[in-house]
Amino acid sequence: MSVYFYGCVTMDGYLADKEHKLDWLYETGTIEETDFKSFYKGMDIALMGKRTFCELEKAEHAEAIYSTTINYVFTHEKELSLSGFIPVKGDVAEFVKQIARDKNIWVIGGNTILSPLLDCDMVDCLMIQIAPVLLGDGIPLFSQKESLRRFELKEVKKYGQFAELIYRRQF
């Protein structure tokens, strides 16, 4: 099993603005300008929080966007508005430990899903796209507990206005 974070942040490290909005991202570029499709083909499972799911609900043909992965949404809701998305609750790290070893897991969106996995040293790869935007404040990508964790820079790519940094966890 490998756990991946794949997502985009501003140059000052924010996933979203203070109101959890992504207008800055949508105004900067599209996934067609990235290697997203190739990345997604290698994923078996997607994990996201409720706020990320709510953003996804706004998309046209939202149910088709993540049609080949098993999609889990960490929420207190018992049902979700889109088919193909399974509500779950509980500890993210414990949930991931129960997933079969031959699966690739994609952590989508927020730090509430990513941080517990970083705290337990369960994230194998960080694929971070950086948009040429400064927000000054917002929702940060990283909010894990203070502890030294080392990753090795494996690759740097440029997609339109985005720089993509690919890091692998050092053992």
pLDDT in 10s for each residue of the chain, 171 residues: 899 999 999 999 999 999 988 899 888 876 666 788 899 999 999 999 999 999 889 888 888 889 999 999 999 999 999 999 999 999 999 999 999 999 999 999 788 999 999 999 999 999 999 999 999 999 999 988 888 899 999 999 999 889 999 999 987
Region 2-138: CATH code: 3.40.430.10
pLDDT for 119 equals 94
pLDDT for 109 equals 77
Dihedral, 73, 77, 83, 84 alpha carbons, nearest 10: 20
Number of helices and strands in the chain (H, E): 6, 10
pLDDT for 36 equals 87
Query: Shortest CA distance to 39 belongs to which of 6, 12, 69?
Result: 6
List CB contacts of 91: < 8 A, sequence separation 6 or more. Answer: 116
Q: How far apart are CA 107 and CA 88, in angstroms?
A: 14
pLDDT for 92 equals 97
* Phi, then psi, of 91 in degrees rounded to 5: -75, 125
pLDDT for 118 equals 95
pLDDT for 102 equals 94
pTM confidence score: 0.91
pLDDT for 63 equals 81
pLDDT for 117 equals 96
End-to-end CA distance of the chain: 15
pLDDT for 168 equals 97
